[in-house]
Amino acid sequence: MTEKITIAVVGSGYVGLVASVCFAEIGHRVICVDNDESKIAMLRGGEIPIFEEYLPELLERHRNTSIEFTTDLDAATQKAQAIFVAVGTPQSQTGSADLSYVDAVASQIARSITEYKVIVEKSTVPVYTNEWISRVIERNGVPRELFDVTSNPEFLREGTAVVDFLHGDRIVIGVDNERAANLLRKIYEPLTSGEYYQMADSVPGARSEADPPPLLQTSTKAAELIKHASNAFLAMKISFINVVSNICEAAGADVEEVSQGIGSDGRIGPKFLKAGIGYGGSCFPKDVAAFRYVAEQLGVDFGLLREVEKINADQKRRFFQKVRSALWTFRGKKLGILGLAFKGGTDDIRESPAIELISQFLKEGCIVSAYDPAAVERTKEVLPPSGTLSYAKDSYEAATDADALLILTDWREFTDLDLDRLRYTLRYPIVIDGRNLFDRAIMAEKGFTYLSVGRAGGVHAKDALSSRLS
Ligand code: NAD
């Protein structure tokens, strides 16, 4: 039987809440702390502030038994053996990670340490952050032998966060001594031993008793670097395929075929090779910038990451131009927009390319009717409904009488749309797909003018090719 550990998780956002619920699910006692009183009140009442598959069921299963919610970090610190810090680390003006939330939590934790605690960085932080946290805690008068600071980066993806947590590719623990390593290994033992997957009601996923996730034990600094380097690498893959998609458009090839050909190489892999309108979200943009900044501070020129960022910004501009070329003028044109979240499966709109593009269309005088299966409420907070912006209750309402339909998020439900109905709902049957969700031949057969990204036959492909040949 696995030993029950008392864990405090500070921050109840996408990472903190998922980690809290999953730690309870694998048998630990969890105190989830947030300084946002309204969030804690919601969670105590059984409501969930974010949209994630399995989260409602798991919370219901463990609420009032092995998971509690509080704003009292001092009490949580006193009770817990391990304190996971999962607060935000947003981008500062210089591009570096703003660590003020981590700093504030470290100082507050320090005030309540009277016996040995393991502090775990769950937030994505630059290398050396563990040393800063130790310094802050020591400065607050805590003897060095009463705590260890470790790193346990989180690799979950929004939209599949619970499954990713419980069925991860790997669990990384960055530790600089055995005492802390022991505790972290115990916390993850139900997963690494395979015990969790034997349970009748365990969340299904890729891992099993016979194939549990491996635990990688590294130095704290290496663990911090693993997270930044992983995200920078994935962002690089996306930017790479986006440039390839632009070459495909100019050359008259289909990026989907090219991507399949590249991704079938086991050394490269098919994931994150999907051409589109650029990456967004709360992680990639800020983590690429932060990693570039860290490199700079350490005297290393990581110009590659500057290029990754530039390509990502260009990709949104190209899509904007594609819409302009299809519609000629913008003022007074009605756009139906499908997708607001930065990717399908989540309600997160942070750094979403869709939000940026909609703002630009509105500035150009377009009339926008937008729909997203999960992110409408969050979007209303940053783009309130107005005379020129409304939110539809479904895709067909968004498309009604529109001069064109734009697809900006890769929600699976968009691929199930009734194309005949859509065709007659639109004023003009123009679909501009920033996520390559549809088969071009089917769209043509259904009578659409269908433009997508990096696939021959779009206006850009023809234009670019004919201008080169003339
Ligand atoms: P989030 O903004 O959703 O949640 C952060 C939470 O911390 C908020 O609820 C906030 O109220 C709380 N908080 C801030 N200061 C606090 C304090 N002093 N005491 C208690 N609570 C406090 O952020 P997130 O998306 O969960 O990300 C958290 C960290 O995890 C970031 O470093 C992020 O880069 C990293 N990360 C995020 C993801 C992801 O997909 N979102 C994946 C892996 C890693």
In a domain, 75, yes or no: yes
The Cα 133–Cα 52 span in angstroms is 31
In a domain, 295, yes or no: yes
Q: Decide: 52 in ligand 1 pocket, CB within 6 A.
A: no
Average pLDDT, stretch 388-405?
98
- DSSP secondary structure, 244-285, as one string: HHHHHHHHT-BHHHHHHHHHTSTTT-STT---SS---TTTHH
pLDDT tens per residue across span 207-262:
999 999 999 999 999 999 999 999 999 999 999 999 999 999 999 999 999 999 99
Average pLDDT, stretch 148-171?
97
Domain boundary, last residue among 218, 249, 278: 218
Q: Is 339 left (phi over 0), alpha (psi -120 to 50) or beta?
A: left
The Cα 373–Cα 414 span in angstroms is 9
Residue whose CA lies nearest to ligand 1 atom number 1? 13
Mutation to probe ligand 1, out of 14, 50, 70, 102 (largest number of atoms < 8 A from CB): 14
pLDDT tens per residue across span 428-451:
999 999 999 999 999 999 999 999
* DSSP 8-state class, residue 413: G
Contact criterion met (CB below 8 Å) for 347 and 50: yes
Q: Decide: 244 in ligand 1 pocket, CB within 6 A.
A: no
In a domain, 1, yes or no: no
Residues 14 and 152 in one domain: yes
Residue whose CA lies nearest to ligand 1 atom number 27? 88
| 3-class secondary structure, 229 | helix
Report the Cα 457 to chain-centroid distance in Å: 32
**Dist. CA 277 → ligand 1 center (Å):** 26
Which residues does the annotation mark as catalytic? 283
pLDDT tens per residue across span 184-206:
999 999 999 999 999 999 999 99
Average pLDDT, stretch 151-172?
97
Q: What CATH number did the domain enclosing 324 receive?
A: 3.40.50.720
Q: Decide: 91 in ligand 1 pocket, CB within 6 A.
A: no
Average pLDDT, stretch 107-129?
97
Domain boundary, last residue among 182, 201, 218: 218
Residues 232 and 285 in one domain: yes
Mutation to probe ligand 1, out of 282, 284, 347, 351 (largest number of atoms < 8 A from CB): 282
Per-residue confidence (pLDDT) for residue 64, from 0 to 100: 86
Percent of the chain whose predicted confidence (pLDDT) is above 90: 96
Question: Looking at ligand 1, which atom is closest to the CA of residue 104?
Answer: 18
Q: Decide: 86 in ligand 1 pocket, CB within 6 A.
A: yes
Domain boundary, last residue among 218, 244, 277: 218
Question: Looking at ligand 1, which atom is closest to the CA of residue 97?
Answer: 32
pLDDT at 464 exceeding the cut of 70: no
Tell me how many domains the chain contains: 3
Per-residue confidence (pLDDT) for residue 1, from 0 to 100: 62
User: pLDDT tier at 111 (50, 70, 90 boundaries)?
Assistant: very high
Average pLDDT, stretch 40-57?
94
Q: What pTM, to 2 d.p., does this model score?
A: 0.93
Residues 256 and 360 in one domain: no
Question: Taking all residues of the chain, what is their mean pLDDT, rounded to a whole number?
Answer: 95
Residues 262 and 129 in one domain: no
Q: Decide: 164 in ligand 1 pocket, CB within 6 A.
A: no
Residues 30 and 121 in one domain: yes
**Dist. CA 99 → ligand 1 center (Å):** 11
**Dist. CA 66 → ligand 1 center (Å):** 22
Residues 146 and 251 in one domain: no
Mutation to probe ligand 1, out of 33, 40, 87 (largest number of atoms < 8 A from CB): 87
Per-residue confidence (pLDDT) for residue 456, from 0 to 100: 76
Residue whose CA lies nearest to ligand 1 atom number 10? 11
In a domain, 284, yes or no: yes
Residues 319 and 231 in one domain: no
Average pLDDT, stretch 270-281?
96
Residues 298 and 316 in one domain: no
Residues 379 and 458 in one domain: yes
Domain interval for residue 145: 6-218
Average pLDDT, stretch 34-38?
97
Q: What CATH number did the domain enclosing 241 receive?
A: 1.10.1040.10
pLDDT at 458 exceeding the cut of 70: no
The Cα 89–Cα 227 span in angstroms is 13
In a domain, 195, yes or no: yes
pLDDT at 457 exceeding the cut of 70: no
Residue at token pair 């069921």: 57
Per-residue confidence (pLDDT) for residue 465, from 0 to 100: 35
Question: Looking at ligand 1, which atom is closest to the CA of residue 14?
Answer: 26
pLDDT at 469 exceeding the cut of 60: no
pLDDT at 310 exceeding the cut of 50: yes
User: pLDDT tier at 324 (50, 70, 90 boundaries)?
Assistant: very high
**Dist. CA 19 → ligand 1 center (Å):** 11
Residues 184 and 233 in one domain: no
Q: Decide: 123 in ligand 1 pocket, CB within 6 A.
A: yes
